[in-house]
Amino acid sequence: MSTRTAVEARSVTKRFGPTIALNSAGIAIAEGETHALVGRNGAGKSTLVSILTGLQRPDEGEVLFGGEPAPPLPDRDAWRRRVACVYQKSTIIPTLTVAENLFLNRQSEGGPIRWGALRARARQLLEQYGVAVDAEALAGDLGVEQRQLVEIARALSFGARFIILDEPTAQLDGPAIERLFDRMRALREQGVTMMFISHHLDEVYEICQSVTVFRDARHVVTSTVADLPQDELVAAMTGEATAAFQARARKTGGADTAPVLSVRGLGLADRYHDIDLTVRPGEIVGLAGSGSSGKVSLAESLVGLRKADTGTVAIKGKEVRQGDVPSALRAGLGFVPQDRHHEGFVSMLSIAENATLPIAHKLGRFGTVSPARRRERGAQMIADLDIKTTGPDQPVGDLSGGNAQKVVMARALSDDPAVLVVINPTAGVDVKAKQSLLGAVEDAAERGAGAVLVSDEAEDLRICDRVLVMFHGRVVRDLPRGWTVQELVAVMEGIDHQ
């Protein structure tokens, strides 16, 4: 591998009003390597991405591509020939076709657009990068993985040899991540330089050669991954030595205690079939499986976000009406939905208001809500879950991903639920937030609640007393504590069904 520097940011400083997003931070990426950028939420990663892609101008410092100074900001085409980026937020326009998205704003070289030729070019481009997507499909109809592949193909089509992947794995399931990594390896063999951002440190070790850590808007360390073991990497990110997450030993109610959640013969066409599930007080049951296994649909049916076709769900022995969230909540259920932005919180309302929505009726009499009592509860939740905020009155929309997720968790826990259903609580949150979120689930179990935890991440499922593995809509295995990741993945992938 050559040691030429493909891209470099030198002592870059960027301020947004009073907050410093980057404080004289820098990164240098050698040509042909896959370089990880890690850091907790708010470490300055996103700001660096927008500076490296020319969307924002640094207040101080400079950006170099192959030793040459970066082009002026308005020259978008010049930037795109040097750097391609697959942003965390999708830059696909859902109402347009894949073909048009690929050639957005360059559909023709002046003159009218020739749609036939455009589609042909699109198909050729998709083929070149081995993306099996119909060029004429509406981009909004694509799945996350396909959309991302289209974005990668588009990014590379400008001829850039350096590509930034900003949390590409956050919304993908295991097999899709593997396919993405295969693709990244193939690109690396072709000499493409990559910067990879992820909260999953195991991915960093799997796919990257070197890693740069940012913390509190500063550069902390750059090293090859081989020279930086995981505990040191975590220490660099958090600024303290933290042990890897340890699941606590808990006592669950025995087989004789009455179950808090019992599911009988639940089925939903094309999603899952014949699900029986019993959760006892103090028990945490994990649900694992690939993206098409039906685990999320099942969990959403438990809380009433989806309506099952057949079967029953009972909470504390009382049957709940299917597809009716309020009745599930009344029966003593709390939940953290998969998409916190859509179903998790109202971003303009304050933390206190969001977290107390389900218990608003308990905060005052005759339909009134006492602001003082709400604030008090909000403050207590902020303390319980260690939410980083200016106070209970701050709108949730202003919080970082991990802290917003804690508010959603606080809301789920606000009514002291008998059953807690949590779907992918740690998606896109950093190491420390992950610990407090999982810790909150364990706390709830210790208080006697039963919990169902759906997660794409094996490490999250460590807190579970047992993990049910789903495959194509059926529970195929019930793994007790002590499973290995290989074992879990093998069952999830359908290799090992006994």
Pick the closer one to other proteins by CB: 238 or 292: 292
Q: How far is the CB of 346 from other proteins (least distance, A)?
A: 19
Pick the closer one to other proteins by CB: 67 or 94: 94
Pick the closer one to other proteins by CB: 146 or 322: 146
Provide the Cα torsion 214, 218, 220, 226; round to 10°: 30
Q: Is 87 in the site for other proteins (CB under 8 A)?
A: yes
Name the residue among 457, 450, 491, 451 with its Cα closest to residue 471: 491
Pick the closer one to other proteins by CB: 105 or 246: 105
User: Which residues ranging from 35 to 74 are in contact with other proteins (CB under 8 A)?
Assistant: 55
3-state helix, strand, coil in the chain (%, to 5): 35, 25, 40
Local structure of 89: helix, strand or coil: coil
Instruction: Count the alpha carbons within 13 Å of 16 in the hemisphere toward its beta carbon.
Output: 8
Pick the closer one to other proteins by CB: 98 or 441: 98
CB 315 within 8 A of CB 333: yes
Q: Which stretch, 128-136, 296-304, 365-373, 479-487, contacts other proteins (CB under 8 A)?
A: 128-136
Name the residue among 214, 237, 163 with its Cα closest to residue 193: 163
Cα 53 to chain centroid distance, Å, stands at: 22
Pick the closer one to other proteins by CB: 107 or 347: 107
Q: How far is the CB of 49 from other proteins (least distance, A)?
A: 12
Q: Which of 11, 13, 107, 242 binds other proteins (CB under 8 A)?
A: 107
Left, alpha or beta for 44 (phi > 0: left; psi -120 to 50: alpha)? Answer: left
Q: Is 235 in the site for other proteins (CB under 8 A)?
A: no
CA torsion through residues 266, 272, 278, 279, sign: negative
Eight-class DSSP state of 138: B
CB 399 within 8 A of CB 376: no
Distances (CA, A) of 298 to 172, 247, 449, 473: 18, 25, 19, 9
Q: How far is the CB of 80 from other proteins (least distance, A)?
A: 8
Q: Is 92 in the site for other proteins (CB under 8 A)?
A: yes
Distance CA 339, CA 221 (A): 33
Q: Which stretch, 106-114, 296-304, 354-362, 441-449, contacts other proteins (CB under 8 A)?
A: 106-114
Pick the closer one to other proteins by CB: 10 or 81: 81
Pick the closer one to other proteins by CB: 155 or 328: 155
Q: Is 230 in the site for other proteins (CB under 8 A)?
A: no
Site mask for other proteins (CB under 8 A), range 279-318, x = bound: -----------x-x--------------------------
Report which residue type is found at 266: L
Q: Which of 30, 96, 360, 379 binds other proteins (CB under 8 A)?
A: 96
Q: Is 156 in the site for other proteins (CB under 8 A)?
A: no
Instruction: Find the radius of gyration of the CA atoms of the chain.
Output: 24
Tokens at 69, concatenated:
């100074």
Q: Is 371 in the site for other proteins (CB under 8 A)?
A: no
Q: Binding-site residue total for other proteins (CB under 8 A)?
A: 42
Pick the closer one to other proteins by CB: 69 or 74: 74
Question: Looking up tokens 């295995």, which residue turns up?
Answer: 477
Question: Which residues are near other proteins by CB under 8 A?
Answer: 55, 76-77, 80, 87, 89-96, 100, 104-108, 112-113, 119, 123, 131-138, 143, 145-146, 149, 175, 179, 290, 292, 493-495
